Every structure is written in C-alpha cells, then in structure tokens.
Chains A and B, each alone.
Chain A
C-alpha cells in the first residue's frame, strides 16, 4: 500500500524557536496533503489542506502565520510551527492522497510528537 513518512518522529524545542516537520509520500504523487493535530485522548483535528503548488487552506481557528505549510512538490509537504510555545505541544499527523494511490483514500503518516519547553 501507499506509504507516508514523517520526520522527525519526535522533537523537543525551547519556547520561541521554530520547528519544521516534514511529510513525504514515498511511492505515489500526493496532489493533496492534510495536516492534523491530536491532543491526548481526543480525536484528530484537521488544521489545513494543501494542494501541490497552491497555498494551504486553513481550518477556522488555525493561525496561518503560526503554522506555515508548504507543499512545493508532489512528494513533500512541510509544517513549520513558528515561535513555538508550550501550548503548541501536541501530536501532529499528516496524510496524503493522490494519483497512484487511489484519489478517494487518505494515507496517514506515523505522526510527530512536539514538546515545547
């Protein structure tokens, strides 16, 4: 099946610094990628949707200047948490769908745990 990877799997940073998380589709072209956030014991909440080569569409309540999303190629999307603060600590999950993997199915990465001190 289609594989989506994320890097890093976990990261710890100091308050005020920026952190970049990568999401890659390994064996298909991801025309659309999604970024989710998951708090402990809660469901995945969609943060934004991005189509390759276009600006991301953010969900209501998500600060686009805080969570910068880039989807410059068909296999890579990045999420940058700018000026991170402890309340940004969470589990971030990406998913992708696209040609070669069934456009009606989303494939998920393993997630990145961010801890901001």
Chain B
C-alpha cells in the first residue's frame, strides 16, 4: 500500500528565501506524485504532478519538484518565497493515472508561513 510522509507540519521562511517542503513516499509500483496547495476557505489546488516522464516537474506559481527514486522523495521547492505562498501544502501519491481509477493517498500536510 502507498503512503506519504511530509516532514515538518509547519515551515517558516522569510520573504525572498528558498522554500523547501519535504515529501517521502512509499509505493510498490512506479508512483504518480502530486503536490496540492490549500488556501484558507478554498479547495485543494493542483500545483504540479509527476507521471513518469521528466523527473524535474515545474508547476504553477514558480514551484517545482524533483522525483528521486533512490531517495523515494518528491520535495517541493521555490527559489524565492512570496507572502502569497502562505498556505497549507499536501503531497499525494497514486499507483497510476487517476483516469484509470487509481486513488490518491495524501500526506498530513505542511503549513507554510512566510515572514516579511
């Protein structure tokens, strides 16, 4: 069965600093990996996804993530944090494409705080 571990329930960075949110996964098959962001009172929004193509995935709002099979990791980064990045971020894994009925398994989430 798949599982996701997000290291750090809260991360605080200064505006302009590097954002690094950690995600490690466990899967018995080649995984599909996702990062979602949730702003207050809004639904989860897809930031980016890895679907077995390029290992470095670029998403919206300047975020990117790198799939590292040897480390079973899919960490999310952004070179320069902006105040508007403050939100909760969820990493998720599935056994394959959602189109074929595979299910998302979520991590516990990381709340990102950006200090001015």
Contacts and interface: CB of A to CB of B under 8 A. Distances in A.
A15 to B, nearest CB: 27
A43 B105 CA distance: 9
Interface in A82-117: 93, 95, 97, 103-111
A46 B108 contact: no
B43 A93 contact: yes
Interface in A30-86: 41-44, 46, 49
A9 B106 CA distance: 22
Contacts of B109: 43
Interface size for chain B: under 10, 10 to 19, 20 to 34, or 35 or more residues?
Answer: 20 to 34
Given A42-B108, A43-B107, A43-B109, A105 B42 contact: no
A108 B36 CA distance: 10
Main secondary structure of the interface of A (DSSP, over half): loop
A46 B105 CA distance: 8
Contact of B103 (A46, A103, A107): A46
A109 B49 CA distance: 19
A32 to B, nearest CB: 8
Interface of B: 4, 9, 36, 41-46, 49, 51, 90, 97-99, 101, 103-109
8 contacts: A41-B108, A43-B4, A44-B90, A46-B104, A104-B97, A106-B46, A106-B104, A108-B36
Q: Nearest 4 CB-CB pairs, A to B?
A: A108-B43, A108-B44, A43-B106, A104-B99
Interface of A: 1, 4, 9, 41-44, 46, 49, 93, 95, 97, 103-111
